[in-house]
């Protein structure tokens, strides 16, 4: 270290360096006045001398390296250039020296910045020593304590600025300071939604923008729809399909026939969105967007005026910013309040008026005090200097007169001020009313041109009726819940505001999904002549539909599913000639509308039924007439709820004794699982596993065909079910042959049966009747087997889902034999369906590429 100091002392000073420059001529005199000033400034601190000296040596070495190729080498002869390797080493030395100079400059700045804080610390220590030495016997510890606090604060600031090179990595104090500084720096990081230019300079943004520009105009608008949802939100394909249909973002012309799934796949390929996968690994029906991608999409949405967003990227309820607006959770008044448009301006004017009045009152008070003081001082002087009574009396009289005169003048001024203030208040009130009228007119015009209203996070979406009715040109009105889960409870206290629907002739998509408190829709629903989609899913308190729903001539999608109290549907529903999807249709003894009425819906493709009437049955062959009359029906779902089974009716007519164990308490473990997972009540068996004599086995053995005359058929014992693959040959106990299966053929491609109450499946549920069936779902219930008319028939089903079935008994070979075209099997809580090669999620499927699983493969 001593040698280093000696070497530094031998370095030339700034004056010597200047003389060295003069000796070398004027070749470096063109550096400019600014460089000289910087060098002079650098020399003010000790580190500056080192920098100047090294910089001079660097310039000399750089000049020598520049001339090196032209010099001769004694080893190689005259005129030969210096070897290339030696020239390269000289350049490397110049670069390393330049690096050292730059680092020294950083240290110089560091030394300069810390000089003042160190002087401050020195003064703090002197103050503390002065207090301790001034009076050692009587030290003012409070003052000393404050000084120590200031000293420690200043030292902490200096330690936080120390270079990491001079901190011990193993020091706890160093790690603590580093962590504190990191947290402080992290808190200062700008939000990606607020920092301008944070992405523009990167290659990611350029690539993203290029991919975005390749999309069509409608595809861009479809992609911008993801911007209003929170980060990592899972958005369902169903919601996007409805929204895009409502705003006509998806064309259905012959030139452009892209489906919603095709558009979403186009977004997935470049990485705009990501599909959400199920636990089984299969692709679900939801999509989400990466936070960084959402940040860029929000920027593009702002540019396109596609909803309004605040500085943090959240959608906002601000009016007048866009023709699309969101409902978000807020505290206090908002633009939707009855008088909120003038609230902000009136509050500012009132505040300004109060400040002005207070200032005037303060000025008047000060003037009055000053006048009173002058009067008092004058009276005191007059009394003091008056020596005779006559003069004193006269002076007092004059003082009183003068005081009365001043008081009268003050009273006059006060009255005039009051009149002026009253005039000002009246003017302000008139101006406020005028402003309120202008803003109210502006708000009405805005609402009349509004196109989309979407509820993002508002829990009570009850809007003022006088404002709700002004949205005459709105196309999408989404007041319900968009999340798949019901974590956000939504409710309205009064549905009178829905009477404003009568003015929304252009509304195409209306959703009240998940909103409680609605018992009946208003009659104004029938005025929506252009409505295509009506989403009433999970309106738990909805009890009936108005007959005016039959006036919705353009309606193509009606969702009434999960409306568990719905018990009355009008027959006018049969007038919806454009209806293609009807979900949640209720069959009840109180409801006048039946399946027969629905057969007039010639375009109906998808039907979901909830049965609450024990008299309704699909078990017999004749029940096929319910569905064979539908001309376009391809998807059918049937579910039995409370009151839809014989057990529930018997229980209502003959209630059990209080001392006896209820049927629900007898449910076995598997049936309790059904009761937990199924939203509809499960009326299962009292035993988790049926007895051996009560199990129906699909006929896959040779015994099924031994006796062609029917001798192999067994009598039913205590509810036992006969084998179903010999229906055509078996005879019942009375000796009469059962009615043959109807030859009618249904066009169903998907059949979903839930909570089926009987052990024997419907007699029309056979491959011969359902030749087009590709997807078959059974979920819950008492069904004991999947039937076939005879052992030669095979199902064309490709997807089979079996859940919570405790009575069906079959193995993997029987499944393969009965469903040779099977591509996917899902088996959940079916204890007697055995040896199936399903994964942990209960799913088996044929691999799409590479190694295709053989249909006769044995489970591993």
- 606 against 198, higher pLDDT: 606
- Confidence class for position 123, pLDDT limits 50, 70, 90: confident
- Confidence class for position 119, pLDDT limits 50, 70, 90: confident
pLDDT at 596 exceeding the cut of 80:
yes
* DSSP codes joined into one string, 195-227: -TTTTTTSHHHHHHHHHHHTS-HHHHHHHHGGG
> Under a CB-based contact definition with an 8 Å cutoff, are residues 580 and 554 in contact?
no
Q: Which long-range contacts (CB under 8 A, 24 or more apart) does 97-106 make?
A: 97/54, 97/57, 97/58, 97/61, 98/58, 100/54, 101/51, 101/54, 101/55, 101/58, 104/47, 104/50, 104/51, 104/54, 105/51
> Under a CB-based contact definition with an 8 Å cutoff, are residues 481 and 457 in contact?
no
DSSP code of 44?
A: T
Q: What φ, ψ does residue 344 adopt, rounded to 5°?
A: -65, -45
Alpha carbon distances (Å) from 552 to 507, 593, 611, 632, 738: 11, 17, 25, 20, 45
**pLDDT on residue 122:** 81
> For 431-459, how does the pLDDT look when each residue is reduced to its tens digit (9 = 90+)?
878 877 888 888 889 899 999 999 999 98
pLDDT at 724 exceeding the cut of 60:
no
What is the mean pLDDT of the segment spanning 742-769?
Answer: 87
Instruction: Select from 316, 326, 214, 324 the least CA-distant residue to 272.
Output: 214
- Confidence class for position 789, pLDDT limits 50, 70, 90: low
What is the mean pLDDT of the segment spanning 541-566?
Answer: 94
> For 315-344, how does the pLDDT look when each residue is reduced to its tens digit (9 = 90+)?
888 888 889 999 998 766 677 776 655 555
Residues whose CB is less than 8 angstroms from the CB of residue 114 and which lie 6 or more positions away in sequence, other chains included: 158, 161
Separation between Cα atoms, residue 227 and residue 188, nearest integer Å: 25
**pLDDT on residue 859:** 38
**pLDDT on residue 499:** 92
- Confidence class for position 369, pLDDT limits 50, 70, 90: confident
Residues whose CB is less than 8 angstroms from the CB of residue 430 and which lie 6 or more positions away in sequence, other chains included: none
* Averaged pLDDT score across all residues of the chain: 74
pLDDT at 822 exceeding the cut of 90:
yes
DSSP tally for the chain: helices H, then strands E = 20, 21
What is the mean pLDDT of the segment spanning 822-829?
Answer: 94
> For 227-285, how does the pLDDT look when each residue is reduced to its tens digit (9 = 90+)?
999 999 999 999 999 999 999 987 654 455 678 999 999 999 999 999 999 887 778 89
Q: What share of the chain has pLDDT > 90, as a percent?
A: 36
Strands (E), 599-690: 606-611, 635-640
**pLDDT on residue 166:** 45
For residue 843, give both structure tokens: 């799913």
Instruction: Select from 473, 446, 443 the least CA-distant residue to 322.
Output: 446
Separation between Cα atoms, residue 755 and residue 641, nearest integer Å: 8
What is the mean pLDDT of the segment spanning 369-382?
Answer: 71
Q: What φ, ψ does residue 589 adopt, rounded to 5°?
A: -70, -20
- HEC assignment per residue over 378-447: HHHHHHHHCCCHHHHHHHHHHHHHHHHHHHHHHHHHHHHHHHHHHHHHHHHHHHHHHHHHHHHHHHHHHH
**pLDDT on residue 330:** 76
**pLDDT on residue 348:** 59
> For 86-106, how does the pLDDT look when each residue is reduced to its tens digit (9 = 90+)?
456 667 777 777 777 777 777
**pLDDT on residue 474:** 95
pLDDT at 118 exceeding the cut of 80:
no
What is the mean pLDDT of the segment spanning 514-535?
Answer: 94
- Confidence class for position 505, pLDDT limits 50, 70, 90: very high
Separation between Cα atoms, residue 835 and residue 828, nearest integer Å: 13
Burial class (CB in 10 A: 0-12, 13-18, 19+), 775: middle
Instruction: Select from 773, 826, 776, 787 the least CA-distant residue to 803.
Output: 826
> For 182-225, how does the pLDDT look when each residue is reduced to its tens digit (9 = 90+)?
555 555 556 677 666 667 777 888 889 899 999 999 999 999 99
What is the mean pLDDT of the segment spanning 727-736?
Answer: 36
pLDDT at 734 exceeding the cut of 60:
no
Q: Strand pairing of 843-845 and 606-611?
A: unpaired
**pLDDT on residue 8:** 34
What is the mean pLDDT of the segment spanning 806-819?
Answer: 93
Torsion, Cα of 809, 815, 818, 820 (10° steps): 170
Residues whose CB is less than 8 angstroms from the CB of residue 23 and which lie 6 or more positions away in sequence, other chains included: none
> Under a CB-based contact definition with an 8 Å cutoff, are residues 283 and 255 in contact?
no
Q: Furthest-apart CA pair in the chain: how many Å?
A: 155
Separation between Cα atoms, residue 818 and residue 826, nearest integer Å: 16
**pLDDT on residue 356:** 63
Separation between Cα atoms, residue 765 and residue 788, nearest integer Å: 8
**pLDDT on residue 43:** 46
Separation between Cα atoms, residue 567 and residue 574, nearest integer Å: 17
Instruction: Select from 522, 536, 521, 559 the least CA-distant residue to 480.
Output: 536
What is the mean pLDDT of the segment spanning 118-147?
Answer: 78
What is the mean pLDDT of the segment spanning 821-827?
Answer: 94
- 787 against 368, higher pLDDT: 787
Q: What φ, ψ does residue 263 adopt, rounded to 5°?
A: -65, -40
- Confidence class for position 46, pLDDT limits 50, 70, 90: low
Instruction: Select from 824, 829, 790, 825 the least CA-distant residue to 807.
Output: 829
């Amino acid at each position: 270290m001593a040698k280093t100091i000696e070497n530094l002392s031998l370095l030339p000073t700034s004056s010597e360096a200047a003389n060295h420059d003069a000796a070398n001529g004027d070749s470096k005199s063109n550096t400019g006045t600014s460089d000289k000033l910087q060098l002079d400034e650098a020399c003010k601190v000790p580190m500056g001398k080192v920098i100047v000296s090294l910089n001079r040596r660097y310039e000399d070495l750089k000049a020598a390296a520049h001339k090196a190729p032209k010099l001769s080498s004694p080893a190689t002869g005259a005129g030969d250039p210096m070897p290339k390797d030696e020239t390269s080493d000289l350049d490397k030395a110049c670069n390393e020296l330049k690096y050292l100079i730059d680092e020294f400059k950083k240290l110089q700045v560091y030394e300069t910045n810390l000089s003042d804080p160190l002087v401050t610390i020195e003064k703090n220590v002197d103050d503390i020593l002065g207090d301790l030495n001034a009076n050692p016997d009587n030290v003012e510890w409070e003052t000393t304590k404050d000084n120590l606090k200031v000293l420690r604060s200043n030292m902490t600031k200096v330690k936080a600025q120390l270079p990491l090179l001079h901190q011990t990595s193993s020091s706890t104090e160093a790690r603590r300071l580093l962590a504190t500084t990191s947290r402080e720096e992290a808190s200062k990081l700008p939000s990606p939604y607020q920092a301008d230019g944070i992405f523009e300079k990167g290659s990611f943004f350029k690539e993203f923008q290029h991919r975005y520009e390749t999309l069509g105009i409608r595809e861009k608008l479809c992609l911008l729809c993801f911007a209003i949802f929170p980060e990592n939100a899972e958005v369902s394909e169903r919601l996007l399909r409805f929204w895009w249909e409502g705003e006509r973002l998806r064309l259905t012309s012959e030139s452009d026939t892209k489906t919603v799934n095709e558009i979403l796949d186009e977004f997935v390929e470049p990485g705009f969105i990501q599909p959400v996968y199920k636990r089984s690994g299969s692709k679900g029906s939801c999509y989400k967007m990466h936070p960084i991608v959402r940040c860029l999409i929000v920027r593009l949405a702002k540019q396109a005026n596609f909803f309004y967003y605040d500085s943090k990227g959240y959608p906002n309820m601000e009016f007048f910013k866009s023709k699309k607006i969101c409902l978000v959770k807020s505290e206090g008044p908002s633009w939707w309040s009855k008088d909120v448009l003038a609230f902000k301006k009136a509050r500012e004017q009132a505040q300004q008026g109060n400040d002005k009045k207070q200032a005037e009152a303060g000025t008047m008070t000060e003037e009055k005090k000053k006048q009173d003081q002058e009067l008092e001082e004058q009276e005191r002087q007059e009394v003091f200097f008056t020596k005779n009574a006559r003069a004193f009396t006269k002076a007092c009289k004059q003082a009183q007169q003068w005081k009365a005169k001043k008081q009268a003048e003050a009273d006059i001024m006060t009255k005039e001020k009051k009149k002026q203030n009253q005039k000002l208040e009246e003017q302000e009130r008139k101006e406020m009313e005028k402003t309120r009228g202008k803003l109210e007119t502006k708000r009405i015009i805005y609402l009349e041109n509004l196109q989309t209203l979407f509820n993002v996070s508002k829990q009570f979406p009850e809007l003022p009726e006088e404002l709700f009715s002004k949205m005459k040109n709105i196309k999408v009105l989404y007041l319900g819940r968009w999340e798949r889960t019901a974590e956000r409870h939504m409710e309205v206290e009064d549905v009178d505001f829905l009477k404003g629907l009568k003015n929304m002739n252009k509304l195409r998509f209306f959703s009240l999904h998940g909103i409680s408190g609605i018992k009946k829709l208003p009659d104004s629903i029938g005025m929506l002549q252009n409505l295509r989609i009506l989403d009433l899913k999970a309106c738990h308190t909805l009890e009936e539909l108005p007959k005016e729903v039959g006036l919705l001539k353009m309606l193509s999608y009606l969702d009434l599913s999960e409306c568990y109290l719905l018990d009355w549907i009008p027959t006018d529903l049969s007038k919806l000639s454009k209806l293609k999807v009807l979900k949640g249709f209720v069959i009840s003894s109180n409801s006048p509308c039946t399946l027969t009425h629905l057969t007039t819906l010639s375009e109906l493709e998808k039907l979901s039924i909830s049965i609450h009437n024990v008299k309704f049955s699909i078990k017999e062959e004749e029940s096929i007439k319910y569905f064979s009359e539908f001309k376009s029906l391809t998807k059918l779902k049937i579910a039995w709820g409370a009151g839809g089974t014989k057990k529930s009716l018997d229980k209502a007519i003959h209630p059990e004794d209080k001392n006896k164990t209820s049927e629900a308490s007898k449910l076995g473990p598997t049936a309790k699982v059904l009761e937990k997972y199924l939203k509809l009540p499960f009326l299962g068996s009292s035993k988790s596993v049926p007895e051996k004599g009560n199990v129906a086995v699909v006929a896959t053995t040779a015994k099924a065909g031994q006796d062609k005359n029917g001798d192999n058929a067994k009598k039913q014992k205590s509810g036992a079910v006969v084998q179903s693959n010999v229906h055509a040959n078996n005879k019942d106990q009375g000796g009469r042959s059962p009615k043959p299966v109807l030859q009618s053929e249904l066009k169903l491609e998907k059949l979903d049966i839930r909570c089926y109450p009987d052990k024997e499946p419907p007699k029309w549920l056979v491959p011969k009747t359902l030749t087009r069936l590709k997807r078959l779902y059974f979920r819950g219930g008492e069904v004991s087997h999947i039937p076939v008319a005879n052992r030669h028939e095979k199902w064309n089903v490709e997807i089979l889902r079996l859940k919570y079935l405790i009575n069906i008994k079959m193995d993997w070979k029987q499944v393969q034999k009965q469903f040779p075209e099977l591509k996917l099997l899902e088996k959940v809580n079916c204890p007697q369906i055995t040896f199936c090669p399903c994964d942990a999620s209960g799913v088996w499927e044929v691999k799409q590429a590479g190694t295709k699983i053989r249909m006769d493969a044995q489970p591993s």
